[in-house]
């Protein structure tokens, strides 16, 4: 993914200074808005200035796309006027866009981006569409001759404001290959009914230029990343899926007062989001559920001779008389150890030696199903935190069935992170109802626990968990609190599947 930054985000800098800052920060390109301060297309010696700029871009290693959205370049009194749908002066806009295409060709730019303009209230819609198609055809003729792709941008509030409008215009023009799409990611959130990542997929191979910023539904305001409502890893993943290889340029034209720092923060955010997208795209095989036999095998390698003898004797006693369990269960840590189990079995990650010993003791009971759940409940309710954790771990390898679910619910009502981690194991993933399981996941976030401790997360996560986590992330950002990286990763995966 190649990231660029819009020169319109550096309105208070000389162009050469802005380019140097953008390159020094690590961006690979610039979205160059032709304007009075940045390569004025109406100032003297345009060819000479373009040649000099081309050399400078090459020296800095910056790719370029040409943007044409300067506010007062054509009319000092009316922003963006005249446009391709104005009742007067459309020829001036067409001439400017043709000049932009020539500049882009001489710079070796990847695309020229432009939009329709706002239809004046007194202009019939049909007339506006006809004028727009005629103007685009004229610009397209120059673009095809110079070999420059056009990127037409749907813009909120303009005649063409969404992807439906772009497709209508593309059809009116005869679907020419050179008439591509500039996709502003923020505009997708603002205007389109589909999730942003789905908008990217819908646009597909028509995308020739991407502008990126954060935004909220129904509000056309370009925001810094993290201040709006967009989840970016799935968006970047969708761009990669389409095969897009052009620039992804930050579009923050109202942040020029702090341009260098905003640009630095933006690149760090996008690089992190791209890494999350790549991680989410990697296959994540589910861990196989551990068995009681595996627990026993690991203990054989871990226990001393004396501890192994004690466990063997205890299991034999419990098998003959279940009442012995209440006496032997609390002694597991003292007789066998409390350190990490260190198992090569991934599903036993996080287990301690006494967890494993207690699971084996429960497995020695002459009971199954509801009876086994009742026996486990007895030592759970009379035990300390370590004993309760041992019971919860044991549920993952015992065949108690759903009768033991109340023990998991009880643990999830606590604020003991050790109990909660044990409670959200394979047993909970299989037997806990959706509402209780989702709230268990959220409790992990509230308590600062890594979501990697939640068994079956990829399999059980759904649209409702997506909504709950996204609401939580918004609340944290609004309060100035960080959103944990693993929450962002889970949201990225959820956006891809929901």
Q: Is 56 a residue whose pLDDT tops 60?
A: yes
Q: Which of 343, 352, 360, 340 is nearest to 287 (CA)?
A: 343
Q: Is 287 a residue whose pLDDT tops 90?
A: no
Distant-in-sequence, close-in-space partners of 192: CB < 8 Å, separation ≥ 6? 162, 163, 199
Confidence of residue 221 (pLDDT cuts 50, 70, 90): very high
Residue 111's pLDDT is 98
Contact 189, 219 (CB under 8 A): no
Residue 206's pLDDT is 97
Mean pLDDT of 303-331: 95
> Which two tokens mark 133?
């198609």
**Biggest alpha carbon–alpha carbon distance for the chain:** 101
Q: Is 346 a residue whose pLDDT tops 70?
A: yes
DSSP letters, 179-200, are: EEEEEEHHHHHHH-SS-HHHHH
Give the integer Cα–Cα distance in Å for 464 and 461. 8
Residue 87's pLDDT is 95
Q: Is 341 a residue whose pLDDT tops 90?
A: yes
| Global pTM value | 0.64
Residue 281's pLDDT is 63
Residue 11's pLDDT is 96
DSSP SS3 for 477: helix
Residue 478's pLDDT is 83
Q: Is 110 a residue whose pLDDT tops 60?
A: yes
**Average pLDDT, rounded, for the chain:** 93
DSSP SS3 for 73: coil
Using CA atoms, how far residue 228 sits from 9, 185, 218, 479, in Å, is: 18, 12, 11, 14
Residue 280's pLDDT is 64
Residue/partner pairs of 363-368 with CB below 8 Å, 24 or more apart: 363/292, 363/295, 363/394, 363/397, 363/398, 364/314, 364/315, 364/316, 364/318, 364/319, 365/318, 365/319, 365/322, 365/325, 366/319, 366/322, 367/322, 368/399, 368/400
Give residue for tokens 């985000």.
Answer: 9
Residue/partner pairs of 266-273 with CB below 8 Å, 24 or more apart: 266/5, 266/224, 266/225, 267/3, 267/5, 267/25, 267/26, 267/27, 269/225, 269/226, 269/232, 270/1, 270/3, 270/212, 270/225, 270/232, 270/236, 271/3, 273/225, 273/232, 273/233, 273/236
What angle, rounded to 10 degrees, do the helices at 259-281 and 485-497 form?
60
Give the integer Cα–Cα distance in Å for 342 and 44. 74
Give the integer Cα–Cα distance in Å for 48 and 65. 19
Give the integer Cα–Cα distance in Å for 491 and 229. 12
Residue 496's pLDDT is 54
Give 103: exposed, middle or buried? Use CB within 10 Å, 0-12, 13-18, 19+: buried
Residue 486's pLDDT is 77
Using CA atoms, how far residue 240 sits from 82, 209, 243, 309, 459, in Å, is: 36, 13, 5, 58, 24
The pLDDT tens digits of the residues spanning 370-387 come to 899 999 999 999 999 999
Give residue for tokens 């800098």.
Answer: 13
Mean pLDDT of 355-362: 96
Q: How far apart are the first and last CA of the chain?
A: 24
Residue 498's pLDDT is 46
């Amino acid at each position: 993914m190649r990231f660029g930054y819009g020169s319109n985000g550096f309105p208070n800098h000389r162009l050469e200074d802005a380019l140097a800052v953008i390159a020094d920060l690590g961006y690979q390109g610039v979205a160059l808005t032709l304007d009075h301060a940045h390569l004025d297309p109406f100032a003297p010696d345009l060819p000479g200035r373009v040649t000099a700029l081309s050399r400078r871009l090459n020296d800095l290693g910056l790719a370029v796309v040409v943007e044409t959205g300067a506010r007062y370049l054509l009319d000092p009194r009316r922003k963006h006027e005249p446009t391709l749908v104005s009742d007067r002066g459309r020829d001036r806009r067409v001439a400017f866009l043709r000049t932009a295409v020539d500049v882009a060709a001489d710079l070796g730019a990847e695309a020229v981006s432009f939009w329709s303009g706002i239809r004046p209230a007194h202009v019939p819609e049909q007339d506006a569409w006809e004028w727009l198609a005629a103007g685009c055809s004229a610009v397209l003729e120059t673009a095809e001759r110079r070999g420059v792709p056009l990127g037409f941008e749907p813009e909120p509030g303009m005649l063409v404001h969404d992807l439906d409008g772009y497709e209508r215009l593309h059809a009116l023009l005869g679907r020419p290959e050179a008439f591509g799409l500039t996709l502003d990611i923020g505009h997708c959130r603002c205007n389109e009914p589909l999730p942003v990542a789905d908008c990217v997929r819908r646009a597909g191979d028509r995308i020739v230029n991407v502008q990126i910023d954060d935004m909220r539904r129904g509000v056309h305001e370009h925001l810094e990343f993290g201040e709006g409502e967009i989840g970016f890893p799935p968006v970047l993943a969708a761009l990669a899926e389409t095969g897009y290889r052009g620039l992804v340029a930050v579009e923050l034209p109202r942040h020029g007062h702090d341009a260098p720092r905003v640009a630095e923060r933006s690149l760090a955010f996008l690089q992190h989001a791209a890494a999350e997208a790549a991680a989410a795209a990697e296959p994540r095989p589910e861990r196989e559920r551990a068995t009681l036999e595996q627990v026993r095998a690991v203990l054989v390698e871990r226990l001393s001779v004396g501890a192994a003898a004690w466990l063997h004797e205890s299991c034999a006693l419990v098998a003959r008389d279940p009442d012995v369990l209440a006496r032997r269960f609390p002694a597991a840590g003292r007789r066998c150890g409390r350190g990490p189990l260190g198992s090569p079995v991934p599903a036993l990650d996080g287990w301690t030696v006494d967890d494993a010993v207690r699971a084996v003791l429960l497995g020695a009971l002459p009971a199954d199903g509801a009876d086994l759940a009742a026996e486990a409940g007895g030592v759970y309710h009379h035990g300390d935190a370590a004993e309760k954790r041992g019971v919860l771990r044991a549920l993952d390898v015992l065949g108690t069935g759903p009768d033991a679910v109340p023990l998991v619910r009880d643990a999830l009502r606590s604020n003991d992170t050790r109990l909660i981690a044990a409670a959200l194991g394979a047993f909970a993933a299989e037997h806990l109802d959706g509402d209780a399981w989702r709230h268990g996941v959220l409790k992990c976030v509230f308590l600062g626990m890594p979501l990697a401790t939640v068994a079956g997360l990829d399999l059980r996560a759904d649209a409702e968990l997506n909504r709950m986590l996204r609401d939580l992330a918004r609340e944290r950002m609004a309060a100035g609190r960080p959103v944990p990286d693993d929450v962002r990763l889970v949201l990225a995966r959820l956006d891809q599947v929901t």
